[in-house]
Amino acid sequence: MSGTEDTQGQQPPKRRFLGRGDIEVSFEFFPPKNPAMEETLWRAIRRLEPLRPKYVSVTYGAGGSTRERTHATVARLLSETTLIPAAHLTCVNATKEEVDDIIREYWDLGVRNLVALRGDPPEGVGERYVPTPGGYENAAALVAGIKNIAPFTTSVACYPEKHPESPSVEADIDMLKAKVDAGADGAITQFFFDNEVYFRYLDRVRAAGIDIPIIPGLIPINNFKQAASFAKRSGASVPDWLERRFEGLEDDAETRHLVAAAVAAEQVLGLVDQGITSFHFYTLNRADLVYAICHLLGLRPAKAFAHKADESSEPTKIAKVAS
C-alpha cells in the first residue's frame, strides 16, 4: 500500500502534511485605549512575533477615532519588532488631502503595506454611511488614491455573506471588482464560522473574473457572546450547531476554552484540507488561542527567538527574518 494513501486507497487529508513551510498567516491587532490595554496588546505581539507572520495589521476605529493611536502602534512595530506592519486606512472624517498626507507619512515612516477600507460611519455600524465632503467616496477610490501616491501593497475587505449595507452579494462582488480594478493586491474576508460560506463565495468571486488572493479572515472564539455580537453587527451568520457547542459554558471558563480550541482547530484544518494555505486572524489582542491554532498549522517559533529570554536586559533589535 502506498505511504501516501489510507486504507480505502484515498489521499490522506492535507493537514497531515502541515509543517513543511507552505502556510502563511497574518494577524490583526487594534490600538490600545489605555496603559493596561497597551500592556495586553504588546504581550500578544511578543507572543506571536516568533511565528513570523507575513504581516500584522493595525485597525482604525469608527470614524477614524484611533488615527493617532494606530499610527503610534505602527511606528512602534517598525522600531521595536521584526514584524511587517500593515496600517488600516479609511475614508471617514477626512478629506482626500488629509488622507493623502497620512499615506505619505506612512511611506516616509517605512510602511509598505496598507489595508484600504471605506470605514464605518462615525455614529457606528448600522447608521447610514455618508461620504465625507471632499473625501474619498469609497474603498475603491481610496485604493486608487493610494496607488497614485506610492506602490504600497494594498489589501481590501470582502464579505462572503455580503456587507450589511449591500443590497446583494452580487453588488458586493461588483464593489470588490472595482477595488481590484483600482489596484488592490489582495482581499481579506469578513470572518465566518461555516467554511462552506467561504467556498461558495470564492466560487462566485472567481466566476466574476476576480483572481487576486481571497484570504479567509478567522476569529477565534474566546468569548461566544462577544463573537455572536460581532457577527450580528458585521452581517456574519452564527450556525445553530456552533451556539450549541458553547451552550451552558458561561460560567465554566476552562471547558469553554477547550471547546473554543476544538472549534478553531476544526475550522482551520477543514480549510487546509480543501487547499487553503493563507489565513488572517482577528486576534482581538489575545494571543494564546491564535498561537495554538498556528501550532496546529505547523508553524514554529523562529530560531532567532529561541534564546531571547537569555539575552541581556538591554533592548536589542533582532535582525529581520527573511519572509
Q: What is the pTM of this model?
A: 0.88
Nearest 5°: CA angle at 179, between 175 and 182? 135
pLDDT tier at 254 (50, 70, 90 boundaries)? very high
Q: Grid coordinates 471558563 are at which residue?
A: 253
Q: What is the overall mean pLDDT for the chain?
A: 88
pLDDT tier at 130 (50, 70, 90 boundaries)? confident
Among the residue ranges 68-72, 109-113, 129-133, 157-161, the one predicted with the least confidence is 129-133
- All three cell numbers of 128, joined, read 447610514
Q: What stretch of H or E contains 27?
A: strand 24-29
- C-alpha span between 282 and 73 (Å, rounded): 16
- The set of catalytic residues is 28
The residue-averaged pLDDT of 125-154 equals 91
Task: Compare 5 and 68 and report the one with higher pLDDT.
Answer: 68
Q: Which residues pair with 57 in a beta bridge?
A: 28, 86
The residue-averaged pLDDT of 157-186 equals 94
Do 152 and 146 meet the contact criterion of CB atoms below 8 Å apart? yes
Burial of residue 246 (CB within 10 Å: 0-12, 13-18, 19+) is buried
